[in-house]
Amino acid sequence: MKIDPIHILKDHDLKHTKQRVRVLEEIAMDSVAISQPELEKKLGKEIDRVTLYRILNAYEEKGILHKIMDMNGTANYAICSPSCSVDHHHDEHVHFNCTNCLKIYCLDVMIPKIKMPAGFTASTVNTTAYGICEKCSVLQSGN
């Protein structure tokens, strides 16, 4: 999926600034979600840490990014599908969190429908699998 930062910003009524474009570029760069600490490391010279917080929050609220929490409570971000909006995140695919390299993948696997007990109304469902990813399992068997 090709992404065009400037277009995305316009679509969501956000001014296009150097910093905002850089954040989107960096996140779109890889198909896996990127953690906030990683982003900080990569963009630390160009963007103030506080600004990064604000940009990520704005993006999440607008439905540009979705946030995935890992087991350590660290936020990871990935680009939303185009159908996401302020009101609803269509993030109905399975995430895979590698316990070795810590990367979070957005898998091309849908989350199965789940029957809720009476009285409970679900608006979103998140599924994350934990284990060893493709790359890490190759590396390990190589040793």
Regarding 33 and contact with DNA (CB under 7 A), the answer is: no
Q: Judge whether 38 and 58 are in contact, CB under 8 Å.
A: no
What does the DSSP 8-state code read for residue 104? E
Sites for DNA among residues 38-77 (CB under 7 A): 46-51, 53-55, 57-58, 73-75
* Beta-bridge partner residues of 78: 66
Kindly report the backbone phi and psi dihedral angles of residue 119, in degrees, each rounded to the nearest multiple of 5, phi listed first.
95, -20
Q: Judge whether 67 and 91 are in contact, CB under 8 Å.
A: no
User: Which of the ranges 7-15, 41-49, 50-58, 108-116 carries the binding residues for a copy of itself, by CB under 8 A?
Assistant: 108-116
Question: Which CB, 51 or 81, lies closer to DNA?
Answer: 51
CB-based contacts of 8: which residues, under 8 Å, 6+ apart? 24, 64
69 binds, among DNA, a copy of itself, none (CB under 5 to 8 A by kind): a copy of itself
Question: Which CB, 17 or 99, lies closer to a copy of itself?
Answer: 99
Which positions lie near DNA, rule CB under 7 A? 14-20, 36-37, 46-51, 53-55, 57-58, 73-75
